[in-house]
């Protein structure tokens, strides 16, 4: 503990200079949603009655920072100055949230009170970290978006908690000093340690995505597998209606595994979200797998969309670039379900609060499952449904037409027969790997086609783009017009069918949409008897 | 054809007095007929349609251009669809829906090729691969009206054009009401789509009623002059066509449709149709266990069959 003693000596020496007003400032950051602002922790230590105040619209977590900082400094062997200490977090009018200001405030006090004399300049270094009472530096939520935001503002050097190191490794062109204790930083600033700012080890690709569940586990249900393949290839929403126990959730869980790997940009986006939500663990410091979120039907609107105080991302954002699985769609409160419409349309959610507004990305693939009626056996050839007509209507009406319209692919599942469960020798079973290969091929075709148009999948096509990108041959057109008139399709349903046929054609590697593609797309439409409105 | 012509020539010379034609002219007509590909059928010929023989004043001669076998089609009903030349969009829609239905059911459509309702009917039948007969008020070699030129050409190839007037006859006003008796005489059922109170369509309807044909009419708004005709017919007992999705059933030709479309099925469609019919109702997954083909093909096939009205898909349960 030689280092600590020497620091204390310096403190005694400095104490003699009391009477001066000493000012210092240390860089940190504030997050609102994914938006990051520079925040300076200004610290002023002056003569006067013992007082310690933090100003600058700090929230409760920052107010409590006082006590953590005092204890941490004392536990590092210093005597906490018994004078008037003012901490101001600039810009003062901006509301601030988070415990990561601890580190900047502590360093500011150590500098201003003269307990520490900087040998190494820290003017351009951002300090992000939470302190424990014994001076340890704890992991911070939202570190990745903070670093990304500050880097954009020109900051290149960061002091970060050791446990956040892998996250920082995703950002290019920065240097970090990972620390696990306040003393490490004190000795670096005081010039008493060999620690250096280093380029963090690039963590991109360090963790291979691993999906444990495979489509090969699902026996029979080839039609649903096919539907899942199409949905994944065009990032289309999917609704599975069927009696209990047909494997609806099994299908949903396996969809992330057939989507292509996240690109670097996508990993960055997803990891940022998980960073803010505090969902990065030591085993999963960065997110490389497609998220699979399966909120319970008791989820509130805030849990689904995001919000709260501090504003946290909701399930739709946590499912960004992945799958949002809604089991028992009809059991969700209708207000929660309806709130999904905006993110499904825009690929992001805007949360507006008195404190400000923020936006989170929310480009997810919705996979919903529901029973055809309350007892679940309507339309089942073997088991009798015990619901009355009005029961069924009430049950189905919980899901609104506009929401159903936004889900491109509808399919009904039937209970598999015994022969499906025990497949004969030599029967081909489609597995995730082969499905994924097809999906990747189809997605590449889409990327090529939509280059420079601002969209990347068939599901995001708007009416105008459908006109220019979806060329249907004359046979297909005739068929479509016939289906349109004989089944009374709505304009939105018409667009859905075209988008789906586009994806089916892409899976077929056909540049033109042909009759058979339209025919198949038309089959992913629920019979009117389910939703007779 | 040679024999047939000789017969006709003999017949013509015998009946010369009742027919405004000289022997030389008759010979000329026969010669032309041979050269230009139209056929001449007399009332005594076996090819002469039976139903036409039954009317009060049957035409003695029919000049035919196209597939004359359409005149005698046992078991396949013939339906005429007629109406005003100044058709409203509603009337044209109704005519083409009816035409489409007739084509889908494999029945035979008859009309007068006039613009408006007649033309809309012919067009719909031809577009849907059906069989159509046009009865002209001019010679078969004269396309009247000019606006129906495309229909005329197509009928020559895929349908039939007939007339009782000698080739080269241009349209006399009186010819048209006269030919209407052939339209209704040839058909089992007659559908009036639109027509004013005093119009050719109502004349056709009256003739059809006299000839004891089943009469159908498309009802319309009572303030529309074009709908007064059919509405009056309904008042007088014609059967109204009230449901646009059940035209075939109303016309009594629905039973034909399934047979016809099922006959036309090929490959996988036919295989799946057979499985569904055999089992009454069957789950999609089960169909797949019978047929070793890709699910996408089976789904496409099922949609096609559903679209043709051959099967019902109730959420994965096919019947």
What is the DSSP pairing of strand A22-32 with strand B61-66?
A: unpaired
Give pLDDT tens digits for A46-101.
Answer: 888 899 999 998 888 888 999 999 999 999 999 998 899 999 998 888 888 889 99
pLDDT of residue A531: 57
Q: Do B295 and A223 touch (CB under 8 A)?
A: yes
Enumerate the residues of chain A whose CB falls inside 8 A of the CB of residue B289: 417, 419-420
In angstroms, the separation between the Cα of residue A226 and the nearest Cα of chain B is 7
CATH topology of domain A2-189: Ribosomal Protein S5; domain 2 (3.30.230)
**Which residues are CB-contacts of A98 (< 8 A; sequence separation ≥ 6)?**
A30, A31, A59, A61, A62, A140, A141, A142, A310
- Nearest Cα residue to B189 out of B77, B307, B267, B75: B77
- Distance, CA of A217 to CA of A19 (rounded, Å): 75
| Closest approach of A524 to chain B, Cα-based (Å) | 9
Please state, rounded to an integer, the average pLDDT across all residues of chain A.
86
Q: Is residue B109's pLDDT more than 90?
A: yes
Beta pairing, strands B214-217 & B189-192: parallel
Within 8 A of B299 by CB-CB distance, chain A residues are 223, 226, 519-520, 523-524
Burial annotation A227-262 (CB, 10 A radius, 16+ → b, else e): bbbbbbbbbbbbbbbbbeebbbbebbbbbbbbbbeb
The C-alpha R_g of chain B, in whole angstroms, comes to 22
- Report whether B144 contacts B136 (CB < 8 A): yes
**3-state SS track over A55-70:** ECCECHHHHCHHHHHH
Average pLDDT, chain B: 86
Q: d(Cα B205, Cα B227) in Å, to the nearest integer?
A: 14
Give the residue ranges of DSSP H helices in A242-293.
248-254, 264-276
Q: pLDDT tens digits, residue range A28-59?
A: 999 888 889 999 999 999 888 899 999 998 88
The domain limits of chain A are 2-189, 215-448
In terms of CATH, what superfamily is A215-448?
P-loop containing nucleotide triphosphate hydrolases (3.40.50.300)
The CATH number for B37-255, chosen from 3.40.50.20, 3.40.30.10, 3.40.50.450, 3.40.50.1820, is 3.40.50.450
Pull the structure tokens for residue A183.
């003393």
Write down the architecture of domain B265-318 according to CATH. Orthogonal Bundle (1.10)
Helix axes A222-234, A491-507, angle to 10 degrees: 100
Contact A200, A290 (CB under 8 A): no
**Chain B hits for A486, Cβ within 8 Å:** 245, 307
B110: closest CA of chain A, how far (Å)? 24
Give the span between the Cα atoms of B263 and B257, in whole angstroms.
Answer: 10
Strands A22-32 and A35-46 come out as: antiparallel
Query: Is A431 exposed, middle or buried (CB count within 10 Å of its CB: 0-12, 13-18, 19+)?
Result: middle
Cα of A56 vs its chain's centroid, Å: 29
Q: What are the boundaries of each domain within chain B? A: 37-255, 265-318
Looking at residues B30-50, what average pLDDT do you find? 85
Contact A182/A131 with Cβ under 8 angstroms? Answer: yes
The answer to whether B316 contacts A412, with C-beta atoms less than 8 Å apart, is yes
pLDDT in tens, A256-293: 999 998 888 888 899 999 999 988 887 788 888 899 99
Q: Which whole number is the average pLDDT over A305-318? A: 88
Check for a shared fold between A2-189 and A215-448. Answer: no
Q: What is the ipTM of this complex?
A: 0.72
pLDDT of residue A1: 37
Task: Give A416-467 pLDDT, tens digit per residue.
Answer: 766 666 655 556 678 888 999 999 999 999 999 998 888 888 988 888 888 8
> Comparing A19 with A53, which gets the higher pLDDT?
A53
């Amino acid at each position: 503990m030689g280092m600590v003693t020497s620091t204390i000596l310096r403190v005694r020496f400095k104490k003699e200079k009391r009477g001066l007003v000493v000012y210092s400032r240390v860089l940190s950051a504030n997050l609102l949603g994914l938006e990051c602002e520079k925040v300076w922790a200004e610290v002023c230590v002056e003569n006067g009655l013992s007082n310690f105040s933090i100003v600058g619209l700090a929230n409760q977590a920052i107010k409590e920072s006082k006590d953590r900082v005092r204890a941490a400094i004392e536990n590092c062997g210093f005597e906490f100055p018994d004078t008037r200490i003012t901490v101001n977090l600039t810009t003062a009018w901006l509301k601030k949230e988070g415990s990561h200001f601890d580190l900047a405030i502590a360093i500011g006090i150590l500098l201003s009170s003269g307990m520490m004399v900087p040998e190494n300049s820290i003017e351009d270094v951002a300090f992000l970290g939470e302190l424990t009472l014994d001076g340890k530096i704890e992991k911070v939520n939202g570190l990745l978006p903070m670093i990304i935001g500050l880097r954009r503002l020109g900051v290149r050097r960061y002091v970060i908690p050791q446990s956040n190191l892998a996250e920082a490794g995703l950002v290019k062109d920065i240097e970090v000093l990972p620390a696990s204790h306040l003393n490490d930083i004190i000795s670096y600033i005081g010039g008493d340690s060999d620690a250096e700012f280093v380029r963090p080890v690039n963590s991109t690709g360090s963790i291979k995505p691993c999906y444990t569940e495979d489509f090969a586990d699902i026996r029979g249900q080839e039609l649903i597998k096919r539907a899942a393949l199409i949905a994944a290839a065009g990032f289309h929403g999917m609704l599975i209606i069927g009696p209990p126990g047909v494997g609806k959730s099994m299908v949903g869980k396996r969809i992330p595994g057939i989507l292509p790997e996240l690109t670097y940009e996508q990993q960055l986006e997803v990891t940022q979200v998980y960073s803010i939500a505090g969902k990065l663990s030591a085993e999963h410091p960065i997110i490389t797998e497609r998220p699979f979120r399966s909120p319970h039907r008791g989820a509130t609107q805030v849990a689904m969309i995001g919000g709260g105080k501090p504003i946290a991302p909701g399930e739709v954002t946590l499912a960004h670039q992945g799958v949002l699985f809604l089991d028992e769609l009809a059991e969700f409160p209708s207000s929660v379900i309806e709130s999904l419409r905006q993110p499904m349309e825009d690929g992001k959610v805007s949360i507006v609060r008195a404190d400000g507004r923020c936006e989170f990305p929310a480009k997810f693939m919705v996979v919903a499952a529901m029973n055809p009626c309350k007892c679940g056996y309507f339309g089942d050839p073997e088991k009798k449904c015990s619901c009355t007509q009005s029961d069924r209507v009430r049950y189905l009406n919980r899901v609104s037409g506009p929401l159903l319209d936004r889900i491109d692919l509808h399919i009904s599942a039937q209970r598999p027969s015994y022969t499906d469960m025990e497949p004969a020798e030599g029967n081909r079973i489609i597995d995730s790997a082969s499905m994924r290969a097809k999906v990747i091929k189809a997605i590449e075709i889409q990327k090529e086609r939509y280059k420079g148009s601002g969209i990347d999948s068939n599901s995001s096509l708007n009416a105008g783009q459908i006109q220019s990108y979806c060329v249907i041959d004359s046979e297909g057109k005739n068929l479509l017009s016939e289906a349109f008139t004989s089944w009374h399709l709505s304009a939105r349903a018409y667009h859905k069918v075209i988008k789906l046929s586009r994806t089916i054609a892409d899976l077929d590697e056909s540049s033109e949409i042909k009759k058979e593609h339209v025919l198949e797309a038309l089959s992913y439409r629920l019979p009117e008897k389910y939703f007779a409105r | 054809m040679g024999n047939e012509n000789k017969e006709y020539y003999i017949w013509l010379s015998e009946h010369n007095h009742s027919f405004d034609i000289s022997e030389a002219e008759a010979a000329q007509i026969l010669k032309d007929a041979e050269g230009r590909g139209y056929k001449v059928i007399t009332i005594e010929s076996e090819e002469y349609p039976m139903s036409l023989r039954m009317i009060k004043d049957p035409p003695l001669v029919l000049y035919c251009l196209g597939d004359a076998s359409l005149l005698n089609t046992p078991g396949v009903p013939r339906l005429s669809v007629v109406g005003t030349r100044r058709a409203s969009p509603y009337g044209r829609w109704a005519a083409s829906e009816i035409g489409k239905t007739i084509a889908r059911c494999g029945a035979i459509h008859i009309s007068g090729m006039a613009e408006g309702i007649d033309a809309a009917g012919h067009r719909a039948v031809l577009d849907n691969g059906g069989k159509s007969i046009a009865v002209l008020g001019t010679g078969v070699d004269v396309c009247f009206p000019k606006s129906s030129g495309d229909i005329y050409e197509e009928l020559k190839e895929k349908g039939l054009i007939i007339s009782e007037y000698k080739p080269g006859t241009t349209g006399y006003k009186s010819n048209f009401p006269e030919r209407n008796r052939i339209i209704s005489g040839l058909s089992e059922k007659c559908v009036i789509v639109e027509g004013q109170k005093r119009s050719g369509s109502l004349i056709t309807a009256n003739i059809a009623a006299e000839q004891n044909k089943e009469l159908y009419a498309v009802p319309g708004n009572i303030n529309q002059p074009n709908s007064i005709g059919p509405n009056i017919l309904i008042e007088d007992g014609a059967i109204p066509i009230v449901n646009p999705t059940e035209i075939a059933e109303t016309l009594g030709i629905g039973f034909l449709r399934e047979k016809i479309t099922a006959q036309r099925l090929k490959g996988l469609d036919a295989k799946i149709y057979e499985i569904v019919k055999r089992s009454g109702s069957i789950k999609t997954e089960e169909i797949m266990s019978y047929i070793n083909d890709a699910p996408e093909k089976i789904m496409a096939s099922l949609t096609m069959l559903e679209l043709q009205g051959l099967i019902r898909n109730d959420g994965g349960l096919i019947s």
